[in-house]
Structure 1
């Protein structure tokens, strides 16, 4: 008997695993609380809540693209781009929190932002909802870049 929900669960778990890897590489956010941060910086507890929601939305978007029929090559290309941005995402906390390389992390985050926008656009060409599910992620990456640049300048 087929389990149609299995690919969805796997997609959600993959996205959450990328977040967990990032948290592991970053070693926690204790340093965030003691940093000089730019205006509009949220309290530390906001980040795990927002990122968890974003990872779930990313997993859902990827599943929607994976489930498409008749666009095999375009689907595969979009999912490769998704996997790349997920890997870039997972490595950023290690640069920022783990190694405290704030300027390098900002460059890495700019790359992530570009990849997030490209992935959202590619997904949207295949499935409107999948692309729109990634829009908050791209916006959050832009906000994170602002915070990263502010932290780099102030610390």
Structure 2
């Protein structure tokens, strides 16, 4: 059990670190370029993003730690963690492309890819630990919402 908490703590820290690092790209444009974009009526206020993402990164970290605790030697665990790592890279890449490069269409392609990768991650998490799969669902829902938002911003600009 102690080992499980260690894996969860490490996983949460990694997820939060990725979020923190990708926020540098966001901060470079969020108070400048992003303010001047046309946005749909359902665009949330800017202050909501940080707390939502912090919560999602914590849930992702818990989910990943629970999978990791099942034993890294097992091929299903390795496969699940591989999928998680790839989707986490695409998560960070989205911020870099959307805010850093200010490429709305490129970010749309990335977020659509991220949704597919998330579905595979959830599938593999469910094989290893059902609770982990359920912990990833809010993240998937938020990314789907973000994809719609990304599409509408692209369409309006």
Q: Secondary structure, in 3 states, of the residue corresponding to 1:45? A: helix
Residues 72, 78 of structure 2: 8 Å contact kept: no
Q: Secondary structure, in 3 states, of the residue corresponding to 1:132? A: helix
Unaligned runs of 5+ in 2: none
**What is the aligned counterpart of 2:146 among 129, 140, 144?**
144
Q: Give per-residue Cα distances to partners, 1:87-125, cap 9 Å, x unaligned.
A: 110111111111110001000010011111111121012
Q: Secondary structure, in 3 states, of the residue corresponding to 2:45? A: coil
Q: For residue 9 of structure 2, what is the aligned residue in structure 1?
A: 9
Distance 1:39 1:115 in 2: 28
Q: For residue 54 of structure 2, what is the aligned residue in structure 1?
A: 52
Q: For residue 114 of structure 1, what is the aligned residue in structure 2?
A: 116
Distance 1:63 1:3 in 2: 12
Q: What does 1:11-90 correspond to in 2, within 5 Å?
A: 11-26=11-26, 27=28, 29-30=30-31, 31-69=33-71, 72-90=74-92
Unaligned runs of 5+ in 1: none
Q: TM-score, normalised by structure 2?
A: 0.91
Distance 1:82 1:10 in 2: 14
Q: Give per-residue Cα distances to partners, 1:48-80, cap 9 Å, x unaligned.
A: 111110000000000000011497110001001
Distance 2:21 2:99 in 1: 13
Aligned-residue CA RMSD in angstroms?
A: 1.8
Shift, 1:3, TM fit: 5.6
Distance 2:10 2:72 in 1: 22
